[in-house]
């Protein structure tokens, strides 16, 4: 049986930010005992890295905090994602616009920035660490952990309300 709610994290290439968010949120869902009620996935708006594992730097940063990104593989946003997922959460405004541009008319799910889920966000976007230093991957994790904590509360409220 398919879980009740689906959450899709979206960035550009699906090798840094969105798989990080997927791994962090999967852990939060499991720890909250909601694995039967919520499922998560990630994708990119571009086809740059289809089938590739997450960036090694993202995997190392995640592993340092106990998240395993190694089984994940990049994929591109597909038309059927709009019917499969209740939440499509973009890492930045450019990817938010890309999702909105292809969303089918009448789509009932929520399309918004991931950081909108954070209770007290210091920033609105999760910056792309791909061309930056290793510290950028730790910053991504900090922001994703903050936002997914708030997202978990949103999901719990929806499941019980």
Residues annotated catalytic, as ranges: 11, 17, 128
Cβ proximity of 144 and 17 under 8 Å: yes
CB atoms inside a 10 Å sphere around CB 72: 23
For residues 51 and 105, give the distance between their C-alpha atoms in angstroms, rounded to a whole number. 29
Ramachandran region of residue 156, left (φ > 0), alpha (ψ -120 to 50) or beta? alpha
Q: Which helix (H) or strand (E) holds 9?
A: strand 5-11
CB 62, CB 42: distance < 8 Å: no
CA nearest neighbour of 147 among 87, 84, 81: 87
Q: Which residues make Cβ contacts (< 8 Å) with residue 111, sequence separation at least 6?
A: 88, 90, 96, 99, 100, 103
């Amino acid at each position: 049986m398919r879980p009740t709610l689906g959450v899709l994290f979206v960035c550009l290439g699906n090798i840094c930010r969105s798989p990080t968010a997927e791994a962090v949120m999967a852990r939060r869902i499991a720890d909250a005992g909601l694995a039967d009620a919520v499922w998560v996935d990630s994708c990119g708006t571009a086809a740059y890295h289809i089938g590739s594992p997450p960036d090694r730097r993202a995997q190392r940063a995640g592993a340092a905090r106990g998240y395993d990104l190694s089984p994940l593989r990049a994929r591109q946003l597909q038309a059927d994602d709009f019917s499969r997922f209740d939440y499509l959460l973009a890492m930045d405004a450019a990817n938010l616009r890309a999702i909105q541009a292809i969303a089918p008319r009448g789509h009932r799910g929520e399309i918004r920035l991931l950081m909108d889920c954070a209770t007290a966000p210091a920033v609105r976007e999760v910056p792309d660490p791909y061309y930056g230093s290793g510290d950028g991957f730790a910053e991504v994790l900090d922001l994703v952990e903050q936002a997914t904590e708030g997202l978990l509360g949103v999901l719990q409220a929806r499941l019980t309300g």
